[in-house]
Amino acid sequence: MGIRRVKTIVALCAVALLVALVAYRVAKRPARSEVEYWDWLSMGTLAELQTRDHSIAKAEAQIMKDAFTEVEDALSVFRDGSDLSRLVADGTIRVSSTSHLARVLGFALKVADESGGAFDPTVAPLMKAWGFRGGTISAPPSATTISNILANSVGWQRVEVAYGGDGRTVFASGGTRLDLGGIAKGYAIDLAYERLKDFGGENFLINLGGNIRVSGTNGRGSGGWTVAIRDPFGVTGNWQHLPRQLRSGEAVATSGSYERFIEIGGKRYSHIIDPRTGMPVDNELASVTVIAPTAMESDAYSTTLFVLGEEDGRRFIDGKDGCEAVFVGKNPLGTDALRRVEALCALGPRNAMTPGAKTAAKWIADELAAMGLEPEIDDFDEPATDGSARIFRNVLATIKGTGSGRVLLLSHYDTKSGISDDFVGANDGGSSTGLLLALAKHLVASPVSPSVTFAFLDGEECVRSYGEHDGLHGSRHLARKLRDEGVALDAVILLDMVGDRDLTLTLPRNGDARLKGLFLLAAADVGRRQSVRLLPYEMTDDHQPFIDAGYKAIDIIDFEYGSLPELNDYWHTPSDTPDKLSAESLQAVGDIVLKMIDGR
């Protein structure tokens, strides 16, 4: 059930419940707008009609319902008498070449062939072995079980197709079982679509568990229909609009692992299985959405691309007329952050008061400008004890909120001097800078209520030992400046060392109690509460000057960055390189920060 209109989600869920209570009978909800909504249960999921053809709406819903029932009767593996079940039981079946089975199985075999078996309707024995067809399993099937199934029962080439004369097709199952769950809903949508068009339907959207096809327009100006897809791991909203409206006649479908899955021993397994390996798909993708000229194509291709992964998937879909794909990765924010950390580290060391720091400041400002922001590089000079001038640069940018209030997010970007010529501080200075940039990019697209100011601070690292003239230069300068200007801030959130693959979030004692509470709630929300430790001691870090200036501040830091849990032996060593970081960790901290900002 990947795709539905944002506005109707709550109402749809309520109606789904109601409909279940009245034994799946077609139910009508009063029209709230120009678009009329009808929904009911079909094929184990929610069927929905949105229509602007008011005079024939009821008839349209009935036509659609009948088409779905017809397809279910022919193609359900859950029904003993269906053509598909008879083919499996008898090993062969003779049907009209225009029958539902001939059309869908014929196309399924074609896609199987084109995708090299990434899509394969003979996946059924694997579905069963992985516990997706009734019964419970307490452990994943053994490697031997899987290789036996692959050797003896899986492979679209086993299915024989012959022309039986008289416009009939003969299928022989080749001793395997078949499953059309990845394609038949799309076909049912196309059947309903054609019948509605024949009946005189003009402006409607039909949806079966996220397989959607539209006709005409939704009447909101620009033509076509606006459709939102689920953002599986988003925290600021569960829906994302498709990059463009659907044009009349087009279809869309989403395949993903986040709604249908099985849990065995605490681990989730996707209901989409790679027939080439026998394993549930576990790649870099959270979901794939495909726009296509028909719903059977979008349904089959979204499943195919989810198996193929983004790289092979793009190659596959590029050859298909009228088709477009949207790939959503598992950790979009974290992946973006990691890419930026790598780019920053590639610039070389960024020790304060060196040309490296100046290059880094300009790079950060360029990245912010590329997002459409107006960054400011605040150069300031702090005389050394011998009176010589020392130039530091803070980089600042603000994203205006949709409501009131203001939050300040901090990271230092300088590296510690005196470690080695190639010390790049991937976690220390790099991770928080990459994540803040990724958060800026995210908030430009989806702003939250408060305005958010990003400050990339210079001169955090001390040269000898922390003191009034050594270390925390950027934060002392900014805190003083904001206080002197009387700028009000709801919260100051410092990120430091937040990308370690083995993420432990240690909160130093010096920090605002309410922000710590918000942090703990947010960490629990994203499933990371277990990796948080409240430290019994204070830490000298960039949040302290803000506390001293009277602001509410918190330091989110992973001060266990090492080769073993609880060790910190990568910190301030040449081992602090990007390979020690992960997109998952950066995503988790990013999600926590977004939740904190929302609930401040």
Considering the rule CB under 6 A, would residue 209 count as an interface residue with ligand FAD? yes
**Applying CB under 6 A, does 298 fall inside the site for ligand FAD?**
no
Minimum CB distance to ligand FAD, residue 4 (Å): 13
* Residue 113 C-beta: closest distance to ligand FAD, Å: 12
* Minimum CB–partner distance for residue 225 and ligand FAD (Å): 19
Q: 594 touches which of ligand FAD, Mg ion, none (CB within 5 to 8 A by kind)?
A: none
- Say if residues 490 and 405 touch (Cβ distance below 8 Å): yes
Kindly tell me the burial class for residue 470, based on how many C-beta atoms sit within 10 Å of its own C-beta (0-12, 13-18, 19 or more): middle
Least distance from ligand FAD to the Cβ atom of residue 136, Å = 15
Per-residue interface string for the shown chain with Mg ion, residues 293-332, x marking contact by CB under 5 A: ------x--xx-----------------------------
Stretch that binds ligand FAD, among 15-23, 146-154, 269-277, 507-515 (CB under 6 A): 269-277
Residue placing its CB nearer to Mg ion in the complex, 306 or 423: 306
Q: Does 127 bind ligand FAD (CB under 6 A)?
A: yes
Nearest CA-CA partner of 190 in 295, 298, 61, 52 = 295
Stretch touching ligand FAD by CB under 6 A, among 113-121, 367-375, 404-412, 490-498? 113-121
- Shortest Cβ distance from residue 117 to ligand FAD (Å)? 8
The two three-digit tokens of residue 94, written as one number: 């003779």
Binding letters toward ligand FAD, positions 148-187, x by CB under 6 A: -------------------------------xxxx-xx--
Neighbours of 16 (CB within 10 A): 19
* Strand stretches in 223-364, DSSP E: 228-230, 239-241, 251-256, 261-264, 267-270, 273-274, 279-280, 285-292, 324-329
Contact 497, 571 (CB under 8 A): yes
User: Between 15 and 118, whose beta carbon lies closer to ligand FAD?
Assistant: 118
> Going residue by residue from 321 to 350, which x/- string records binding to ligand FAD, judged by CB under 6 A?
------------------------------
Q: Please answer whether residues 86 and 94 qualify as being in contact, where contact means their C-beta atoms are separated by less than 8 angstroms.
A: no
Nearer to Mg ion, 182 or 430 (CB): 182
Nearer to ligand FAD among residue 72 and residue 576 (C-beta): 72
First to last CA, the chain: 32
For residue 271, the minimal CB distance to ligand FAD (Å) is 4
| Phi, psi of 56, rounded to the nearest 5 degrees | -120, 15
- Report the residue from 131, 275, 278, 511 that binds ligand FAD according to the rule CB under 6 A: 275
Q: Which does 543 bind (CB under 5 to 8 A by kind): Mg ion, ligand FAD, none?
A: none
Nearest of 545, 450, 520 to residue 489 by alpha carbon: 450
Q: Which stretch binds Mg ion (CB under 5 A): 181-189, 193-201, 399-407, 466-474?
A: 181-189
For residues 247 and 253, what is the distance between their CA atoms, to the nearest angstrom?
14
Burial (Cβ within 10 Å: 0-12, 13-18, ≥19) of residue 488: exposed
Please say whether the beta carbons of 444 and 371 come within 8 A: yes
Q: Which does 272 bind (CB under 5 to 8 A by kind): Mg ion, ligand FAD, none?
A: ligand FAD
CB nearer ligand FAD, residue 125 or residue 329: 125
Which of 123, 357, 491, 557 lies at the binding interface for ligand FAD (CB under 6 A)? 123
Based on CB atoms, which residue is closest to ligand FAD, 181 or 578?
181
User: Does 303 participate in binding ligand FAD (rule CB under 6 A)?
Assistant: yes
Of 302 and 431, CB closest to ligand FAD: 302
Taking CB under 6 A as the criterion, the residue among 4, 52, 177, 271 binding ligand FAD is 271
Which of positions 352-411 make contact with Mg ion (CB under 5 A)? none
The footprint of ligand FAD on this chain (CB under 6 A) covers a number of residues equal to 30
Q: Which two tokens stand for residue 598?
A: 């929302």
For residue 306, give both structure tokens.
Answer: 């989810």
Q: Are 347 and 578 in contact (CB under 8 A)?
A: no
d(CA 278, CA 43): 25
**Residue 278: closest CA among 371, 145, 368, 462:** 145
Give least dist CB 185 to Mg ion, A.
Answer: 7
Binder of Mg ion out of 121, 125, 182, 256 (CB under 5 A) = 182
Smallest distance from ligand FAD to CB 154, Å: 10
| H helix runs in 76-209, sequence order | 83-90, 100-114, 124-129, 143-152, 184-199
Instruction: Check binding of 49 to ligand FAD (CB under 6 A).
Output: no
Q: How far apart (Å, rounded) are the C-alpha atoms in residues 46 and 64?
A: 13
299 versus 560: smaller Cβ distance to ligand FAD: 299
Burial of 417 (C-beta count, 10 Å sphere; 0-12/13-18/19+): middle
In the bound complex, what is the minimum distance in angstroms from residue 182's beta carbon to ligand FAD?
3
Task: Give CA–CA dist 453/398, Å, rounded.
Answer: 4
Residue 39 engages ligand FAD in binding (rule: CB under 6 A): no
The nearest distance, CB 68 to ligand FAD, in angstroms, is 8
- CB-nearer residue toward Mg ion: 159 or 180: 180
Closest CA to 350 of 440, 411, 437: 411
Among 59, 66, 20, smallest CA distance to 36 is for 59
**Measured distance CA(471)–CA(417) in Å, rounded:** 11
Dihedral-angle region of residue 243 (phi above 0 means left; psi in -120 to 50 means alpha; beta otherwise) = alpha
How far, in Å, CA of 201 to CA of 216, rounded? 9
Q: Which does 474 bind (CB under 5 to 8 A by kind): Mg ion, ligand FAD, none?
A: none
Residue 287 as a binder of ligand FAD (CB under 6 A): the answer is no
Contact positions with Mg ion (CB under 5 A) in 234-273: none
CA-wise closest residue to 453 among 395, 392, 412, 414: 395
Residues near ligand FAD, by CB under 6 A: 43-44, 71-72, 75-76, 78, 119-121, 123, 127, 179-182, 184-185, 209-210, 255, 260, 271-273, 275, 299, 302-303, 307
Residues near Mg ion, by CB under 5 A: 182, 299, 302-303
